[in-house]
Amino acid sequence: MAQEGQQHPLGVYFWIWGLLFVISFLSYMVDYMNLQGYLRWTLILIFMFLKAGFIIAIFMHMKWERLALQLAILLPPIFICVLIWLMAIEGDYTWLTRIEFFGESTFVPESPHH
């Protein structure tokens, strides 16, 4: 005899859909209000991660999966993001070192005084 799949109440999906609508509205308001600098990008990233998290957790049914499967799916992108962050931090140093090495720098070393 075939076993039936797990059924989730539709109310959960409607609440999350409404929450996604509100978060999207707030995300559009960031652009509408012409926020600038780090505040703008921080808010955009927060709203983006919130929306992605709710979509993955509820609509892709990740909330109801075993922990091992959740970690198998979520840990690799987290590690990749950490590695990208480390490369971004090192990028300025590498760029400045190459400019210095290839002679496009405006740095003039002081001559030794005799």
Query: For residues 39 and 22, what is the distance between their CA atoms, to the nearest angstrom?
Result: 19
pLDDT of 3: 58
Assess whether pLDDT exceeds 70 at residue 4: no
Assess whether pLDDT exceeds 60 at residue 1: no
**DSSP 8-state code for residue 8:** -
Least trusted range by pLDDT, from 30-34, 65-69, 94-98: 94-98
Q: How confident is the model at residue 93 (pLDDT cuts 50, 70, 90)?
A: confident
Instruction: Report domain extents, the chain.
Output: 9-64, 66-103
* Chain centre to alpha carbon of residue 6: 31
- Please choose, from the candidates 16, 100, 18, the residue with its C-alpha nearest in 3D space to the C-alpha of residue 53: 16
User: Rounded to two decimals, what is the model's pTM?
Assistant: 0.63
Assess whether pLDDT exceeds 60 at residue 2: no
What would the mean pLDDT of 44-64 be, rounded to a whole number? 89
- Please choose, from the candidates 67, 28, 60, the residue with its C-alpha nearest in 3D space to the C-alpha of residue 44: 28
What tokens appear for 12 in the block? 């959960």
